[in-house]
């Protein structure tokens, strides 16, 4: 993987904002400048690489049909493993958690009475995230079947915490079976786009995703099209809302 591909990867797949990608670029440039000064390389290979032109792709999520297909497939099983996997997909898709945030959840972080998760994000910053009713039910069902006394929410048969690679691998395999390209960050993208499409605003989305700035959050707005604006305008039309009282 070359440097440009690496920077695109951490921006697109890892979901880092442009400011963070910029910091990575500065560090890599400093390293290669040092290598050039010490005679390890002939010239700095980073001179033509700029962050501004790296992250251009519009963030895409799953289509509505793909989401429906995925949800139908994961809720079909009844074993503890299948119920657990269903809860994982529901949380990723309904709450937009990063894979690391998902795997660091503890039983003590779950408040099923309120339908809220306490999530530890980047820099150990905590935030509260709401679950939809279907997700609450899926997690409640898993926790009823879960036999471990460990505080980690996602554990194997020996009571040890699952590693994030376990979920990443399972999603990849399950996605192939359904004919859907599937990974945890794609579900996070899908959550963000659906949140905006269903009437959520960018400031609430920023808080839900745990973004430190609006830079990354704004990128999800680019995925919205005319039909989304059309539906929003039906609700928010300034003239219609003023005159509707006279109808």
Fold of 64-185: hpI Integrase; Chain A (1.10.443)
CA torsion 107→111→115→119, rounded to 10°? -60
State what percent of residues in the chain have pLDDT above 90: 47
In terms of C-beta distances under 8 Å and separation of at least 24 residues, what long-range contacts does 160-163 make, across chains too?
161/103, 162/103, 163/103
Q: Which residues belong to the active site?
A: 98, 122, 185, 188, 211, 220
- Which pLDDT tens digit goes with each residue over 109-163? 999 999 999 999 888 889 999 999 999 999 999 999 998 888 999 998 888 899 9
Q: What does the pLDDT read at residue 212?
A: 80
Mapped to the 3 state alphabet, what secondary structure does 179-246 carry? CCCCCHHHHHHHHHHHHHHCCCCHHHHHHHHCCCCHHHHHHHHCCCCHHHHHHHHHHHCHHHHHHHHH
State yes or no: pLDDT of 54 exceeds 60: no
Which of 105, 115, 113, 63 lies closest to 84, judged by CA? 105
pLDDT tens readout for residues 229-242 = 777 777 777 666 76
């Amino acid at each position: 993987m070359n440097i440009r591909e690496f920077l695109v990867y951490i921006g697109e797949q890892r979901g880092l904002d442009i400011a963070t990608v910029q910091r990575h670029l500065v560090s890599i440039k400093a390293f290669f400048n040092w290598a050039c000064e010490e005679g390890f390389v002939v010239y700095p290979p980073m001179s033509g690489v700029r962050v501004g032109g790296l992250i251009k792709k519009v963030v895409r999520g799953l289509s509505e049909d793909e989401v429906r297909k995925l949800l139908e497939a994961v809720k079909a099983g009844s074993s503890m493993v299948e119920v657990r996997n269903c809860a994982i997909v529901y949380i990723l898709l309904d709450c937009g958690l990063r894979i690391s945030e998902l795997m660091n959840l503890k039983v003590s972080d779950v408040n099923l009475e309120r339908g809220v998760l306490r999530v530890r994000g980047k820099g150990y910053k905590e935030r509260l995230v709401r679950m939809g009713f279907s997700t609450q039910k899926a997690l409640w069902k898993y926790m009823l079947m879960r036999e471990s006394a460990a505080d980690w929410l996602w554990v194997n048969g020996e009571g040890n915490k699952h590693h994030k690679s376990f979920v990443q691998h399972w999603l990849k395999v399950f996605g192939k079976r359904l004919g859907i390209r599937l990974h945890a960050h794609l579900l996070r993208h899908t959550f963000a786009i659906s949140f905006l499409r269903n009437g959520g605003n960018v400031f609430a989305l920023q808080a839900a995703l745990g973004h430190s700035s609006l830079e990354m959050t704004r990128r999800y707005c680019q995925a919205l099209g005319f039909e989304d604006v059309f539906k929003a305008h039906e609700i928010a039309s300034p003239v219609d809302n003023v005159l509707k009282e006279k109808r």
